[in-house]
Amino acid sequence: MTATTDKSTDAVPVETVTCTIDEIEVTVPKGTLVIRAAEQVGIEIPRFCDHPLLEPAGACRQCLVEVAMPDREGNLRPMPKPQASCTMTVTPGMVVKTQRTSAVADKAQEGVMELLLMNHPLDCPVCDKGGECPLQNQAMKNGRATSRFADVKRTFPKPIQVSSQVLLDRERCVLCQRCTRFSEEIAGDEFIALQERGAHQQVGRFDEQVLHFAPPCAGDHGAGGRAAPGPVDIPLGIAQPDASGQPFASYFSGNTVQICPVGALTGASYRFRARPFDLVSSPSIAEHDSCGSAIRIDHRRGKVMRRLAGDDPAVNEEWITDKDRFAFTWQSAPDRITTPLVREDGELRPASWVEALEVAAQGLAAARADGGVGVLPGGRLTVEDAFAWSRFARTVLRTDDVDQRARVHSVEESAFLAHAVAGTGVGVTFADLEAAPAVLLAGLEAEEEAGVTFLRLRKAVRAGARVFSVAPFRSRGLARLDGTLLPTAPGTEADWLTTLATQAAGDLVPAGADRETLEDVAGALGQEGAVVLVGERLAAAPGAYTAALRLAEATGARIAWIPRRAGERGGVEAGLLPGLLPGGRPLVDEDARAQVAAEWGVAVEDLPDTPGLDTDGILDALSVGQLTGALVGGLELADLPDPVHARRALGAARFIVSLEVRRTEATELADVVLPVAPPVERAGSYWNWEGRVRSFGRALESSALPDHRVLDALAAQLDVDLGVAEPLAAHRAVAAFGAWKGARAQAPQAGAPEPPAVSAGTAVLASWHLMLDDGALQDGEEHLAGTAKRPVARVSAVTAAGFDVFDGDRVTVSTDRGSITVPVAITEMVDHVVWLPMASRGCRVHEDLGARPGEAVRIAPAEKGDDA
Amino acid sequence: MTDTLTPVLTDTWDAERSWTLESYLAHGGYEGLRAALAQDPADVVQAVKDSGLRGRGGAGFPTGMKWGFLPAPDGGPRYLVVNADESEPGTCKDIPLMLASPQHLIEGVAITSYAIGCHHAFIYVRGEVLHVYRRLLAAVAEAYDAGYLGTDIQGSGFDLEVTVHAGAGAYICGEETALLDSLEGKRGQPRLKPPFPAVAGLYARPTVVNNVESIASVPGIMAKGADWFASMGTEKSQGHGLFSLSGHVTRPGQFEAPLGITLRELLDLAGGVREGHELKFWTPGGSSTPIFTAEHLDVPLDYESVGAAGSMLGTRALQVFDETTCVVRAVSRWTDFYAHESCGKCTPCREGTYWLKQVLHRIEAGEGTGPDIDLLLDLCDNILGRAFCALGDGATSPITSSIQYFREEYEAHLDGRGCPFDPARSTLFDDTPQAPPALAGAGGHR
C-alpha cells in the first residue's frame, strides 16, 4: 500500500481490500472484520461475544485464527499469537487460517471451548436454549469430545429475576457481554452490568451483597436539600434496580434473551414451556405498531409458544420491542368469537354463516336506503382488508362516510394525509433516519409509539445525529436520544413548527422567541438528509400538520408520518378516510373517480362524489339518526376520544354489523357479529410507516376468515362481486391501482387558534399512549404487563405548588365526566400542564375524563379514600 | 564493588527527610526541569529518544518513541498518566521510590508534560499503599507551593495540573488501558486496541502512559544529558535501573545499577544468598517472568540478554529462592494471585487461572496424578497468547518455566505423596535467628 490516500467523498465506489482466508481469496469493503469476511466465503468461525450489530468486544476468545500479514517489503509475516477474528479488520494481502486449515487455530478454539464449558452447568436437558444453543452447537463442532476438568465448578444461586419478564441464570453465562452491550449501545437501558472479577465475574444488577458494599444509610437521600427523583417510569411488576438505581424498566429487554448465546437469560413466559426442535417457525410481521418489524412465530401443534425478532436489516435489523415479542396471547384469548352471532330478542346467539350474512346484508341494505351506513373499520387492518373495506364502503354501501381513525383526529389531518402521505410510496426509510444529520419529532414519542424507530434513531444519534422533540417534557426516551426538547404545551405544537418555518425561510420571527434555539434547530433541519417525523397526535394540535408541512418546505427536510397502529398507513393508501380514494386519489377529482370506478367495475356515478363524514361526524350522525346503520371493524369504543358519546351513538343506530376477532363493546352493541381471523391465522400485508409493504403468511392452520373474505361474501349477498375472496386476489387488488398522476389533494391550511386560557385549579392535559398499557392487544400476558410503567401524573414544580401537592402525593385529575387518581411526579416540564398516560391500567384518559389532549382539566390533591 | 552501583534515583534516600522538597532541592532537584523549560518541547523529546531510555514498567518500549506517537496537537487536551499501580508479586521499586523521593517523579511529570504538551497529568497509585498516596499528595502540594506545578511554572508560561488518584487495588489496573478505564471511573478492564492510548486514551484523548521509574529517570537525562544516561548500561539497554532483591538474600533491598548487571554481582552486593543456603531459582522481573536458576547467575540483566535466556527483564524484581523452597508451592501461590486478580473479561484468563489454581492445589496436597503436569502445560498453552491482555500470559510463565526446570519436583508431589518440603524451613524467621526488633513486645506494632 502506498501512503497516498484519496479522500474524495463524492459517492466513490466502496474501497475494498482483498485477503486470503483458508486459501480462498475474498474481497471485502475496507474495515470489514475478519470474522465477517470469512462468512462471505462460507467459513464459519465459532463465536460468542461477536454480534454484527454490536461493537466488537474480543472477550470470549472463541474466534481465534492464525493471521499473517505482509510487512513493508511485502514478505508475509505470521503474527506470533492467534488473533481474535471478531476484532481484527482485514488488511490488504492478509492471510488468515481458520480452524479448517490451521492446527494452531483449531487447538486454540478447542482450548477456549473447554474453558467455557468447565464452569458451565451442562444442564442442556433442562435448559430452554438446548437445541438452539450456540454454546451447545459450537461445542459439538469445535470442542473436545470430553472435558479434562475434574475439579470444583463455580456455582450461583438460581435465577435472578431481572424483571417480571426476564430471568438470569448466572451459572450458565459465558460472560460474552452481548446483553450488557445491547443494553448500553442499542436500547440505552443499562440494567445489568459486569461485576466482581476473575471467575467470580458475573452479570447482574448493582448488588450490595455481591459487591460487599454497605447498603446506603437511610436518610442519606435529600441530605443536601434536594428531593429524590419522583417515581417515574417505574414498572408495575417486580424489577431489579437498573444502573441508575431505579427499578429496571425497558421495552427492549426481550432482545437480550434472544441474543444470549447460552441459556443464561430466559423469558418468563417461555421458560420451560417448549423445546426448539418441537417448534414450527413461521416468519411474520408484528401487528403492534406501524414499524412493520419482522418477527418469527414459533408454534407447536397450533399454539403460538413464543415470538422472536426476525432479521430484516432494512427495517428492524434484529431487534423488536417487548410488545412485539411477548404480546401474542390476545389472538387466542378466551373471548375469541368462533362463530357468527345474530341478535335475537336482544341477545346475541350463534348462527350459521349463511344466516348471519343474510341478516347482515338485509340490515345494511335497509340502512343504506334509510339515511345510510357509517363505516368505522379501525386502524389495525391489513392493507388487503383495507382495500376491501374501502371498496365495500364506496361500491356496496355507496357511501364516503368511512374513517379508520379510532382516536383523536381532525379535518386538518385528513387533508394532510391526502396531500402528503397517501400514494407517496416509500418515502423516508429507516436507513434515511440512520443517515439523517437531524430529526425533529412532533406529536411523536418514538420510544412509546414506534419502538424500533426509536432504536434506529438511537443508532443515528450514536453516529452523530441530533434529535429535537416538540413535547411538553423531556421523556426518558428523548433523554436517551440525547435529544433537545422544544417545550410545548399540548395543542400548541404549531407554534414551534411555524416559528421554525419562519426562521428557516428567513422571515421575521416573533419578538421574544428563543432566537438561539430557532437558529440552531432550523439550521440543523436545513442540512441535507434532515427529517421531520410527525405523529398522529398532531391531530389534537390545530394548525400543527399545516405548520409541519411549511417547516419541511422551508428547510428542505423530508417529512414522514408515523401513526401508532399497524393498519393506518395502509388504510390511508386504501382510502379509509373521507374524501380519499385509493392511491391518494382525491374523491372530488373526476378523473380520480373515473379511474377508481373503472378498476372497481362500477359506474362512475355510482361512486359517492362528495366527501363524507369522519369518525366524529359518523358518530354524531348516528346519534341523531342521520345515519341509521354502522359497519364496524376492529374497534374499541374506549379508544375513541369520547367513548360515552360513541356508545350512545352506536346504541342509537338501528343496525350494526361488526367484524371482530374477540368480543368487544362494539360486538355487544351489534346486530350481527361476523368473526374474523387474527393475524397469526391468516396471510396479509401491513404497510409500515415508511410505505413499505410488509407481507406475511399464515402461521397457524385455521378456519377463521380474514376481513376481505367476509366482506366479499357480504357483498355477494348484496349482489356485488368484490373479487377478493382469495388472499392472492385481495393482494393483487391492492397493486391494481397504478400511481395517481393527477393533482394531489390540497395541503391543509389550518390556522392555530389561541389556546384557551388556563384558569385557576386547572391545567392543560397532555397525554399519549405508553407502549405497554391497558391495550386489548396485550391481554393475557401478565409477565409483560409487569414491565409496563406505573401511571403517574406529571406536573412541573410550579404547577404542583399551585395545587399544593408534593412529589409522590396522590392527585385527582378530573372533569365533569369523571376523575383519575394517581401519584404525582414532579417533572421538569411546561407549567400549567398535566401529563397522564393515555390508556394505562387505572388511568383511561378518554374513558375516565372524556377529555382530549389540549383541553383543560381540574387538578386537586386526592382526598383520603380516593385511592383507586 | 561500590563502583557497580549508579545511584541516581536512590541517591538521596539516606538524606534527612529525603521525601521533602527541601531535601530534594538541596541535592540538585529541579535542575532538569529548568533545563527542559529552556528548550523547545521537541528537543526534550529528542533528548529522551537519544538517551535510549526504555520503559521501566516491564515491556521496555522506548520512552521517547512512545511520546513521539502522539498525533499533532489539535487544540484539545492531551494527557500524561503515570502508572504507579505497582502490584506484581516481587516488584517493589516504584513504591519505595515514591516513598523516599517522590519529587523525582513529580519533576519527571513536569518535564514530560512539557515535552508532550500536556496540561493535566495523572498519577494512578495502587490504592493499598496509603502511605505512598499520602506522601505523593504532600509532595504534589509542596511542588505547587514552590511553583513547580500550577500556572506559569517557573515563569515559563507553561501550566500543569497534577492529580494523584488512588486505585482500588486491582492488579489489572497496571495494564495501561484498564488503568485508563479505572481512572475514568469505570470497571478496570483492558480496552480493545487499537485505538492505542496515544491516539485515544484517557477520555478518548491522546495519552501517554508511563511507568513511575521511566518518568522519574527523565529529570536526570535533562540535567546531565542524554549521553550521560546512554553511557550506562549496554548497547541496547541503556541507563540505570532499580534492581529489587528480595527473598532469601542476606541484605534485600533496592540496588540501582546500570542495566546489564548480573545477579551474581547483585548478590555480592547484597551479601549473597542467606547464610548456609544456596540459590535454587529466581525471577528476573517479577512473578510474570519465567523463572531462572543458578545456571543463569551470569546472564546480563538487560532486555536482550534476559530475553535470549528465555525470560523477560520485566520490572527487575529479583525474587531469590534457596533450596528450602518448594517450587510447586511458590508457583501455586503465584497462581492464586493471578486467579484472584484476573479481571474476568476474557475466557482463557478467567477460567484458565481458576482451573490452574485448583490443579496446583491438588498437586501440592498430593492429590495430583501423572497427567496433571501435562494438563498444566496444555492449559498454559491454551492461555498463553490467547488471552485479551498480558495478565493471562504472565499467569502461565511461572508454571511452564518451573516445570521446565523442576519437573521431577512436581512429580515428587504426585500420587498421594504430597509436598516433600517443610515449609517452615523456607521462612526467614525460622532459619535466621535475629535480635528482637527494637519495638518488639507489648504494643510494638501499634
Quick: pLDDT tens for A797-809: 999 999 889 998 9
CATH number at residue B175: 3.40.50.11540
Q: What angle do CA A631, A635, A639 make, to 5 degrees?
A: 135
Answer whether residue A727 is part of any domain.
yes
Mean pLDDT computed over A558-578: 97
Question: What is the spatial distance between Cα B95 and Cα B19, in angstroms, rounded to a whole number?
Answer: 12
Residue A311 in grid coordinates: 432479521
* Span A659-678, pLDDT tens digits: 999 999 999 999 999 999 99
Residue A262 lies in a domain: no
**Among candidates A570, A568, A550, which has minimal Cα distance to A559?**
A550
Mean pLDDT of all residues in A290-305? 97
Assess whether B309 and B267 both reside in one domain.
yes
Banded pLDDT at A216 (limits 50, 70, 90): low
Of A59, A151, A194, the CB nearest to B358: A151
**Is it the case that residue A349 has pLDDT exceeding 60?**
yes
Instruction: Give residue A864's pLDDT band: very low, low, confident or very high (50, 70, 90).
Output: low
Cα torsion A241, A243, A249, A252: sign: negative
Specify whether A443 is located in the same domain as A528: yes
Claim to verify: residue B30 and residue B160 sit in the same structural domain: yes
B148 and B36 in one domain? yes
Residues of A with Cβ-Cβ distance to B346 under 8 angstroms = 58-61
- Position B101 in a domain: yes
Compare CB distances from B355 to A64, A87, A118 and report the shortest one's residue: A118
Q: Please compute the mean of the pLDDT values over residues B83-108 and round it to a whole number.
A: 97
Question: Closest-CA residue in chain A for B357?
Answer: A151
Strand ranges, E, within B273-389: 279-283, 292-293, 317-322
Q: Which secondary structure element, helix H or strand E, spans residue A659, and what is its range?
A: strand A655-660
Residues in B closer than 8 angstroms to A152, CB to CB, are 358
Residue at A331 is within a domain? no
When CB atoms are compared, the residue of B187, B339, B379 closest to A198 is: B339
Q: What is the value of pTM for the model shown?
A: 0.92
Handedness of CA B99, B103, B106, B111 (dihedral sign): negative
Which chain A residues contact residue B344 at CB under 8 A?
175, 194, 196-201
Chain B contact set for A61 (CB, 8 A)? 346-348, 386-388
User: N- to C-terminal Cα distance for chain A?
Assistant: 73
Same domain, B31 and B123: yes
**Residues A724, A709 contacting (CB under 8 angstroms):** yes
Q: Which domain holds residue A852?
A: 762-861
Work out the mean pLDDT of chain A and round it to a whole number: 93
Residue A305 cell numbers, joined: 409458544
Give the pLDDT of residue B307: 96
Please report which residue ranges of B148-259 form alpha helices under DSSP H: 176-183, 197-200, 212-224, 226-230
- What is the model's pLDDT at position B255? 96
Residue A3: is its pLDDT beyond 90? no
Q: Are residues B270 and B383 in the same domain?
A: no
Looking at the 3D structure of chain B, how many domains does it have?
3
The lowest-confidence range among A124-138, A205-219, A596-610, A641-655 is A205-219
Q: How many CB pairs under 8 A join A and B?
A: 101
Residues A399 and A425 in one domain: no
Largest interatomic CA distance in chain B? 73
- Note whether A776 and A728 are same-domain residues: no
Domain with A40 in it: what CATH number?
Answer: 3.10.20.740
SS3 category, A298: strand
Residues A723 and A809 in one domain: no
Looking at the fold, whether B187 and B47 belong to one and the same domain comes out as yes
Percent residues over pLDDT 90 in chain A = 85
Residues B43 and B136 in one domain: yes
The answer to the question of residue A473 being in a domain is yes
Please tell me which of the candidates A80, A195, A199 has its beta carbon nearest to residue B354.
A199
Whichever domain contains B301, its CATH number is 3.10.20.600
Structural domain boundaries enclosing B66: 2-230
In a domain, A177, yes or no: no
* Mean pLDDT of all residues belonging to chain B: 94
Chain B residues touching residue A171 (CB < 8 angstroms): none
Q: Closest chain B residue to A193 measured between Cα atoms? A: B187
- Domain-located, residue B396: yes
Give A-chain residues touching B383 at CB under 8 angstroms: 111
CB B399 within 8 A of CB B380: yes
C-alpha grid cell, residue A221: 437521600
Instruction: Provide the shortest C-alpha distance from residue B286 to chain A (in Å).
Output: 21
- Residues pairing with B160 in the sheet: B150
The alpha-carbon gap from B20 to the nearest alpha carbon of chain A, in Å, equals 37
Answer with the one of B197, B230, B263 that is the final residue of a domain: B230
For residues A506 and A463, membership in a common domain is answered with yes
Give the number of domains in chain A: 4
Residue B434 domain-assigned?
A: no
Residue of A nearest to B349 (CA): A198
* The pLDDT of residue B437 is above 80: no
- Give the residue from chain A lying closest to B380, CA to CA: A111
Do residues A182 and A255 touch, judged by C-beta distance below 8 A? yes
The three grid cell numbers given for residue A339, joined into one nine-digit string: 362463530
Cell reading at A327: 404480546
Report the residue from B189, B344, B385 with minimal CB separation from A81.
B385
On whether residue B439 sits in a domain, the answer given is no
* Strand partners of residue B247: B320
Same domain, B264 and B368: no
**Cα dihedral: A790, A793, A794, A796 (round 10):** -150
pLDDT of residue B258: 96
Per-residue DSSP letter, B154: G
| Residue B433 domain flag | no
Task: Name the residue with cell 425478532.
Answer: A309
Distance between CA atoms of residues B125 and B429, nearest Å: 31
What is the pLDDT, as a whole number, of residue A242? Answer: 73
Give yes or no: residues A435 and A547 share one domain. yes
Predicted confidence (pLDDT) per residue in A4-51, tens digit: 444 444 556 789 999 999 999 999 999 999 999 999 999 999 999 999
Last residue of a domain, one of B294, B322, B350: B322
CB within 8 Å: B340 and A58: no
Q: CA B262 → CA A465, B233, B245, distances in Å?
A: 60, 12, 12
B91 and B192 both lie in a single domain: yes
Q: A15 to chain B nearest CA, in Å? A: 21
CATH of the domain at A857: 2.40.40.20
Which of B246, B255, B24 minimizes the C-alpha distance to B135? Answer: B24
How far apart, in whole angstroms, are the C-alpha atoms of residue A471 and residue A146? 60
Interface test with A, best of B345, B375, B383 (most A CBs within 10 A): B345
Distance from CA of B395 to the nearest CA of A (A): 13
* CB-CB neighbors (< 8 A) of A197 in chain B: 170, 172, 341-344
**B385 to chain A: which residues are within 8 Å by CB?**
80-82
Q: What is the pLDDT of residue B33?
A: 97
Instruction: Write down the pLDDT at residue B427.
Output: 87
State which residue of chain B sits closest to A84, comparing Cα positions. B386
CB contact under 8 A, B375 and A148: yes
* A702 and A785 both lie in a single domain: no
Listed residues A501, A530, A562: the one ending a domain: A562
Last residue of a domain, one of B322, B348, B383: B322
Whole-angstrom Cα distance, residue A236 to residue A250? 12
Domain boundary among A107, A126, A145: A126
Same domain, yes or no: A432 and A510: yes
Residues of chain A found within 8 Å of residue B371, distances taken between Cβ atoms: 148
Other Cβ atoms less than 10 A from the Cβ of A23: the count is 10
Does residue A313 lie within any of the structural domains?
A: no
Q: Are residues B137 and B281 in the same domain?
A: no
Q: Which of B338, B342, B347, B379 to mutate to test the interface with A (most CBs of A within 10 A)?
A: B347
Own/partner long-range contacts of A99-105 (Cβ < 8 Å, ≥24 apart) = A99/A45, A99/A46, A99/A65, A99/A142, A100/A22, A100/A43, A101/A22, A101/A23, A102/A65, A102/A66, A104/A66, A105/A64, A105/A65, A105/A66
From chain B, the residues in CB contact with A82 under 8 A are 385-386
Q: Are residues A696 and A814 in the same domain?
A: no
Residues of B in contact with A149 (CB under 8 A): 355
The answer to whether the CB atoms of B344 and A194 lie below 8 A apart is yes
d(CA B81, CA B84): 9
- The verdict on A713 and A795 lying in the same domain is no
- Shortest CB distance from B347 goes to which of A112, A193, A200? A112
Q: Is B235 inside any structural domain?
A: no
Cα-to-chain-centroid distance, residue A858: 32
- Residue A752 has what pLDDT? 83
Asked if the Cβ–Cβ distance from A58 to B388 is below 8 Å, we say: yes
Looking at the fold, whether B335 and B293 belong to one and the same domain comes out as no
Tens of pLDDT, residues B9-68: 999 999 999 999 999 999 999 999 999 999 999 999 999 999 999 999 988 999 999 999
Residue B201, in any domain of the structure: yes
**Judgement on whether residues A717 and A614 belong to the same structural domain of the protein:** yes
| CB of B406 closer than 8 Å to CB of B398 | no
Cell 486505585: give the residue. Answer: B167
How far is Cα B121 from Cα B141, in angstroms, rounded to an integer? 14
Q: How many CB atoms lie within 10 A of CB B371?
A: 11
B194: distance to nearest CA of chain A, Å? 9
For residues A28 and A40, what is the distance between their CA atoms, to the nearest angstrom?
Answer: 8
Q: How many CA atoms lie within 13 A of B292 on its CB side?
A: 32
Residues B78, B174 within the same domain: yes
State which H helix or E strand residue B332 sits in.
Answer: helix B327-341
- Find the CB nearest A82 among B359, B375, B385: B385
Q: What's the pLDDT at A6? A: 44
Convert the pLDDT of each residue in A816-851 to its tens digit: 999 999 999 999 999 999 999 999 999 999 999 999
Domain boundary (A76, A99, A126) is at A126
Q: In Å, what is the CA distance from A418 to each residue of A415, A424, A429, A498, A545?
A: 5, 10, 20, 21, 12
Alpha carbons A406 and A426: distance in angstroms, whole number: 25
Minimal CA separation from A583 to chain B, in Å: 52
For residues A40 and A69, state if they share a domain.
Answer: yes
- Among the residue ranges A268-272, B195-199, B428-432, the one predicted with the least confidence is B428-432
Given an 8 Å threshold on Cβ–Cβ distance, is B359 in contact with A57?
Answer: no
How far is Cα A275 from Cα A259, in angstroms, rounded to an integer? 17
Determine whether the interchain pair A59/B345 forms a contact, defined as Cβ–Cβ distance below 8 Å: yes
Is position A601 within any domain?
Answer: no
Distance between CA B166 and CA B122 in Å, rounded? 10
- How many angstroms separate the CA of residue B381 from the nearest CA in chain A? 9
Contacts of B172 in chain A (CB under 8 A): 197
Determine, yes or no, domain membership for A664: yes
B120-125 β-sheet, strand order: B161-166, B120-125, B79-84, B207-211
Of A61, A87, A116, the CB nearest to B192: A87
- Identify the closest residue of chain B to A119 by CA–CA distance: B351
pLDDT confidence tier of residue A437, bands split at 50, 70 and 90: very high
Q: Provide, rounded to the nearest whole percent, the portion of chain B with pLDDT above 90.
A: 92
